[in-house]
Chain A
Amino acid sequence: MSVIGIVGAGGYVGTSLIESLVLDGVRDVRAIVRAYRSVASLARFGSAIELRIADADDAESLTSALDGVSTVVNLTTGPPASIVRSTAAIHASARAAGAERLIHLSSAVVFGAVTSASTDDDSLPDSRHWMPYARAKSAAEAFLRCHISATGPRVTVLRPGIVWGVRSPHTMQIVRMLLEKTAYLVGDGSGIFNGIYIDNLVACIRACCSPVPDGAGFFNVADDERVTWREFFSAFAARLEYDMARIPRVSRSRCPISKGLVLDWLLSLPSVNGLYHRSKRHLPDAVKVSLKRLLAGPYAYGGVASAYATNPGVDRELWHLQRVEHKLPHAKFAARFGPARRVSFEEGVRRTFEWLRFMGYARVG
């Protein structure tokens, strides 16, 4: 029996992966989540999947949850400070449970702005990245690099870029920016959108679950098309009543100061970041409500804002993402695992609009 154990199954990628497996009739799927609240997005699959509660930081509870699993997929997210710890615990548990394969989801963000055209799947990540999440993902990769040839499960590390499309929080961020008319391009928008449509990422993960002889290693995974940020925004703009001719441009050389930027900068400091993640669940409700209101912009009661922001608040992460210079090569994955069935960029946009329309966001266009 070949059981796939998905750790962190209640998240966006996990839900999409499980949906794909269940709808294809795969029945040996075990969803492992940290808390009952994560079961909500999986509830509709019911008895089609097996459900376990285990803490990804706790190798003991995880080993029990992974008992009998042949392939472990690590889709956990969490505070940066916990990423290396959970990666090590999942690796140890997969090994103790006798799993054959461990598929670890890293992120292309570990390469920062991809300033060199020679950056490839086997390049070393930027361990001094400004973003705590990227540094933690780099450190997790470093841990797995040390364990990749050791006895134990075959370790496959996938590095998706921005996962976009149906249910994607990132795509929702862009959609909201267009609806609220707070979108912006960095420079002329020619930065590379290193993205992967959710169904394509799911296809890559599923390909890794198969018994390929030499599947260990680090693999960039991405859509086939080369898409710029201007093209990505444009793909969504027209049907969200956004005129791309009016999109503001911000400096490519220096990130403009905004209250969001100051907050990002503060949160990127390791000590502040740790404190924030430790204390955010304990903040009094009144403080949370006040903070949310302080950071939220005006609400577009008409569904779409009427005025274009001329001086939009710039998000530091999005600013950096828009400065990516090169498309990451991803041919190594296809060479090793075979060509996965791909959803084209155009089809991905179409499907995303179908979802947005269902959600009540997009105008039928």
Chain B
Amino acid sequence: MGKAADATAGALRTTVVGCGAAAQILYRKPLRRLERQGLLRVCALVDTSEARARALGAFFPGASIASDLEASLERTASELTLVLSPAHLHHRHSICALRRANHVLCEKPMADNADSCREMVAVAREANKLLAVGMIRRFVPAFAEFRQLLLSRRIGTVESFRYAEGRRFDWDVTTPAAFRDRSQGGTGVLFDIGPHAIDVLIWLFGVPRATAYADDGLLGVESNLRIELGFPGCSGSVQLSWDSPLQNELRVYGSGGEAVLRLDQFDRLAVDTGAGWSEIVSTHRHPADLRQPARDSIGPRLYTDAIFCQLIQVLRAIRLGEEPAVAGQAGADCVAVMEAALRLARPLEMTWLSPEHQRAQQLLHWTRRR
């Protein structure tokens, strides 16, 4: 993208497409904060449900309400579009915004298949606009601290890891889109929590190759899965669940010790190099303004803080030409890994079921109809 170094330009006119849970719970407060700071102005809210758009509109009285992104962008001048719609619409909405000269911040997953991601990257390049992918974990202090810890080789050479994230799904979604069959836009747990997991691992270790994948999807999308991944120099497993309390940690084993990143805490990690576990409280901070260099910073303790930092970084990328945390290509790499994993799918071995139910689980698994 081209360098636009004018940090003093007026508030960036911003369109939000998708006014459901992500917009209401995660983005609303940070957007209002940025409006108060004069850095951004929400000029249009787009959702197929007028009620949802109007509910969000109550917090952004100057924004127009629309049900169609294309029509909204024609009518209301906009420079940045936040794509917060259901995952299967990310590709369409991002392309639409990029082709109308908008920069785009697209929530994860970038799209539901790798071809769509590639097209998004190409269109952004053609349009000379920013395409960033929303990966909130990059702004959680403990994650950045953990990366530094591994880079410092405090546990020696990384050999293996185990990533486990799962709990009862409690996100107040406003549509059942994520739970539908994949052919109808469903994400399953793979394209829901998966992007967080894979993106963090790519950030830490590089782009992996999926070597095995198993899930529990029958006539619908999976609620539980396990992926085996091979990276240059290390390998490990990712386990994700929508219905069971997993350990919610990334555990990395190195030649000289072990390190744990707690996925449900913003600032806690620990390391054991042979003398017992030592907990580290992260003090990592992110820029909180558009000055160069930043004079204000923030150490997020809540998801809304992390979203604020993510938005600031997108604004810095647009205004100052800095790199976004996750550019389109990195988002595309993440989707490509998940897509490759799905091609290896086999039924999860659910050995806690009765023998009859284990057989039925194998027979009913979605891969039987592939």
Which residues of A come within 8 Å of B, CB atoms?
Answer: 15, 19-20, 22-25, 35-48, 51, 166-167, 169, 172, 199, 285-286, 289, 299, 301-302, 343, 351-352, 354-355, 358-361
Contact = CB atoms under 8 A, between A and B. Distances in A.
Which of A23, A51, A351 neighbours the largest number of chain B CB atoms within 10 Å of its CB? A23
B277 A301 contact: yes
Contacts of B266: 289
Contact of A36 (B176, B188, B268, B353): B176
A301 B260 contact: yes
B172 A355 contact: no
B218 A22 contact: yes
Interface of B is mostly: loop
Nearest to B226: A358
Interface stretch (B30-38, B194-202, B354-362): B354-362
B78 to A, nearest CB: 29
Nearest to A11: B168
A41 B192 CA distance: 13
Contacts of B181: 46-47
B231 interface: no
A46 B215 CA distance: 14
Contacts of A35: 172
B222 interface: yes
B218 A44 contact: yes
Nearest to A300: B277
A45 B272 contact: no
* Range of interface residues on B (Cβ < 8 Å): 35 or more
Contacts of A199: 354
Given A46-B217, A166-B352, A302-B272, A40 B179 contact: yes
B353 A43 contact: no
Interface in B243-281: 243-247, 260, 262, 266, 268, 270, 272, 277, 279
B5 interface: no
Which of B164, B189, B245, B356 neighbours the largest number of chain A CB atoms within 10 Å of its CB? B245
A43 B179 contact: yes
Given A46-B221, A301-B277, A360-B239, A41 B302 contact: no
A273 B361 CA distance: 42
A81 B186 CA distance: 35
B219 A46 contact: yes
A302 B352 contact: no
Which of B170, B172, B244 neighbours the largest number of chain A CB atoms within 10 Å of its CB? B244
Contact of B352 (A48, A351, A360): A351
Given A39-B176, A46-B221, A286-B301, 17 more contacts: A23-B353, A25-B360, A37-B171, A40-B178, A41-B169, A41-B242, A43-B179, A43-B223, A44-B215, A44-B223, A46-B366, A48-B219, A172-B245, A286-B302, A289-B266, A299-B270, A360-B246
12 contacts: A24-B360, A37-B172, A37-B173, A43-B188, A45-B218, A46-B217, A46-B220, A48-B220, A169-B245, A199-B354, A299-B262, A301-B277
B292 interface: no
A302 B259 CA distance: 10
A354 B219 CA distance: 24
Task: State the 7 A-B residue pairs at the shortest beta-carbon distance, nearest first.
Answer: A46-B220, A40-B169, A46-B219, A41-B243, A43-B179, A23-B360, A355-B352
